[in-house]
Amino acid sequence: MSYERGGDVAPRNRRWVIALLGVLLGLTWVSEAHAQRVISQPSELISVPRGTSALLQPLQPVQRVLVGDPTIADYALVSPQELVINGIGVGTTSLFVWDRSDRVRLYTIAVTPD
């Protein structure tokens, strides 16, 4: 097998280079997927007696909210910086609150008997 000086890469070597680039790109994608942040520790515990409400005033305006178990607690967004938590059934659930910068805070809502 001979190569001309300054010539193009042989077709077989070109396939190896393309395959290697594909593997490297795939590894980059996998490492980015593993770099995602998992939030599992609540920042605050909010205790609400069943049938009552509590007012939560996050420091940043709220973009969206998710309650883990709506049979235990629900919420009403009164304003971008006021969230009313309603105790429905006895138990605990998670409350995720995202701000406008897409940062999330996790709260534990404990609904106690009245």
- Extents of the domains making up the chain: 1-36, 44-112
Does the domain at residues 44-112 carry the CATH identifier 3.40.1370.10?
no
> In the predicted model, is pLDDT for residue 23 greater than 80?
no
d(C-alpha 109, C-alpha 114), whole Å: 15
Higher model confidence: residue 6 or residue 60? 60
Handedness of CA 84, 79, 93, 74 (dihedral sign): positive
pLDDT value, residue 19: 72
User: CB–CB of 84/55 below 8 Å?
Assistant: yes
User: CB–CB of 107/41 below 8 Å?
Assistant: no
> Is the model's pTM score more than 0.85?
no
> What are the DSSP calls for 48-110, one per residue?
EETT-EEEE--SS-EEEEEES-TTTEEEEEEETTEEEEEE-SSEEEEEEEEETTS-EEEEEEE
> In the predicted model, is pLDDT for residue 105 greater than 60?
yes
pLDDT digits (tens, 9 = 90+) for 30-86: 555 455 666 666 678 999 999 999 999 998 999 999 999 999 999 999 999 999 999
d(C-alpha 34, C-alpha 6), whole Å: 42
pLDDT value, residue 25: 66
pLDDT value, residue 111: 97
d(C-alpha 114, C-alpha 72), whole Å: 13
d(C-alpha 46, C-alpha 50), whole Å: 12
